[in-house]
Structure formats: C-alpha cells, structure tokens
Amino acid sequence: MAVLAHTEEDVKLLARLLRAEAEGEGKLGMLLVGNVGVNRARAACLDFKDINSIRRMVFQSPGGFEATQKGYFYQRARQTEIDLARKVLKGMRYHPAEYSLWFFKPSGSCPAQWYNQWNAGRFKSHCFYTPTQEACPEVYNTF
C-alpha cells in the first residue's frame, strides 16, 4: 500500500528527483532524498502546508529542491531510480531521513540545528534535519 497517492508519472518524476539530487551518493543517498520528498508531501506543516502531491513537492518554489531550482533536473529516470522511488512510496524509511524534511551539504560538520530544526544525522556529505513531533505530527504518522 502506498503512503502517498501517485500515478506512474509521479513515480518517474520522483525517480528523476532522486537521480538529480543524489546520484553521486549511491542508492542509500537516493533513498534518503526520497524519504525527505515523501515526508514533505505528507507533512502539511511549516514550509509544506500546501505541498500535498509528488508534483507539487518536486517543483516547490521557493524552498524546494536545488535540482529543480538551479536547473539540473533534466535526466530521465532509469529503472534503478524508479525501483528506489517505489520503495519510499511504499513507506520504507531510512536513517537519518526517516522523519526529515530538509538536508544540505555544509562546508564542515553538521550544525546541531538548522533553521530551528534538529540534526538527525549525516550521510556522506549531507546533513538531515527533522522537525519536532509537535510542529509536524504528520511526518511521524505510521503508515
């Protein structure tokens, strides 16, 4: 069962986002981006109150993903990314992005907080940030 309503076109759109944002971070890096994306579309809080679909999440502006904001969202989805997108849409969560809504690549170590959100951990060069359960309860809902 899917945790977010979607079409086959949505799966491919999410897969393109995984590739554009994290191809160099490997499969786990792409799954982490997928977790952040699905969380944003389910959140209904903070910067994501009106982001309730894959398409709206992928193309959110301002405050969206760098790939779509800075123009390197042009490669098609390959079967590998499509399979990874399906995993996160089925509810698979991966640490440190299980409940994260943000990630970024700092020049040094991960700050404990980023825009008042707590650091959930680091994967390779990216730090992941999670809202409190009080601020965004939908992110913590089980599937």
CATH number at residue 36: 1.10.10.2520
In a domain? residue 2: no
The amino acid at 8:
E
Please identify every stretch of the chain with a pLDDT value under 50, giving residue numbers as ranges.
Answer: none
In a domain? residue 42: yes
Neighbours of 54 (CB within 10 A): 25
Q: What's the domain range around 21?
A: 8-140
pLDDT at 112: 97
In a domain? residue 114: yes
Which residue stretches of 61-140 are H helix? 66-69, 79-89, 137-140
pLDDT at 59: 97
In a domain? residue 1: no
In a domain? residue 64: yes
In a domain? residue 65: yes
Number of domains in the chain: 1
In a domain? residue 122: yes
The DSSP symbol for 88 reads H
Helices 8-22, 26-43: axis angle to 10 degrees equals 120
In a domain? residue 76: yes
pLDDT at 88: 98
